[in-house]
């Protein structure tokens, strides 16, 4: 088995288990004021190699989201949000492409493109994920204010978690 594939598979399994067994049960602000969600597992899609095909991204996004849905007992909410960011990832990467293009092979990581670039990239992907996720979760735009509050508060917490993960584990690919 390809070592890069194995690393990404192990990363996905660990982050899905972390999300489903630990982070799901964290209620910042208490049970009655649950506007904060720590969502870390989308980083799996974010840091896949840049050359990953769109079909592979969509398949990985669906499988990843479905695995998290099993822990949450939700009916495809995570899967749809993961599919969404997997689908738009090539567009975001094209939008953020450096002048000289991306070196081949590479992954969108701070070691390759710098911390500032990574924060912008991960932040953009996370905002798309959270807006889509919270919109599908309530499935109506009546709660637009709550969707935005949850998105902003969860973005701050999740971005800190993703940056901590990237700093602590320093993935090379």
| φ, ψ of residue 27 in degrees (nearest 5) | -120, 95
Q: What is the pLDDT of residue 27?
A: 63
Q: What is the pLDDT of residue 29?
A: 60
The region that residue 108 occupies, defined by phi over 0 for left and psi between -120 and 50 for alpha, beta otherwise, is beta
Lowest mean pLDDT among 83-87, 95-99, 160-164: 95-99
Using omega within 30 degrees of 0 as the cis cutoff, is the peptide bond preceding 125 cis? no
Residue 87 has pLDDT above 70, yes or no: yes
Q: What is the pLDDT of residue 32?
A: 55
C-alpha separations of 62 from 19, 55, 81, 141 in Å: 16, 11, 9, 24
Q: What is the pLDDT of residue 142?
A: 82
Residue 173 has pLDDT above 70, yes or no: no
Residue 59 has pLDDT above 80, yes or no: yes
What six digits make up the tokens of 45?
A: 């899609």
Q: What is the mean pLDDT of residues 41-60?
A: 94
Which residue(s) pair with 36 in the sheet?
Answer: 28
Q: What is the mean pLDDT of residues 42-65?
A: 94
C-alpha separations of 96 from 91, 99, 111, 162 in Å: 9, 9, 16, 19
* pLDDT tier at 101, thresholds 50, 70, 90: confident
């Amino acid at each position: 088995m390809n070592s890069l594939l194995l690393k990404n598979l192990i990363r996905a399994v660990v982050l899905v288990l972390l999300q489903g067994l630990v982070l799901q049960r964290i209620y910042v602000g208490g049970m009655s004021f649950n506007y904060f969600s720590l969502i870390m597992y989308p980083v799996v899609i974010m840091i896949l190699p840049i050359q990953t095909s769109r079909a592979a991204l969509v398949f990985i996004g669906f499988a990843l989201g479905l695995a998290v849905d099993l822990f949450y007992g939700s009916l495809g909410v995570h899967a749809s949000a993961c599919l969404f960011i997997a689908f738009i990832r090539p567009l975001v990467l094209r939008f953020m492409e450096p002048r000289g293009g991306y070196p081949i092979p590479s992954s969108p990581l701070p070691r390759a493109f710098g911390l500032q670039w990574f924060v912008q990239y991960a932040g953009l992907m996370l905002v798309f994920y959270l807006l889509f996720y919270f919109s599908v979760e309530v499935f109506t735009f009546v709660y637009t204010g709550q969707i935005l509050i949850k998105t902003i508060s969860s973005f701050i917490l999740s971005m800190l978690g993703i940056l901590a993960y990237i700093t602590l584990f320093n993935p090379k690919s």
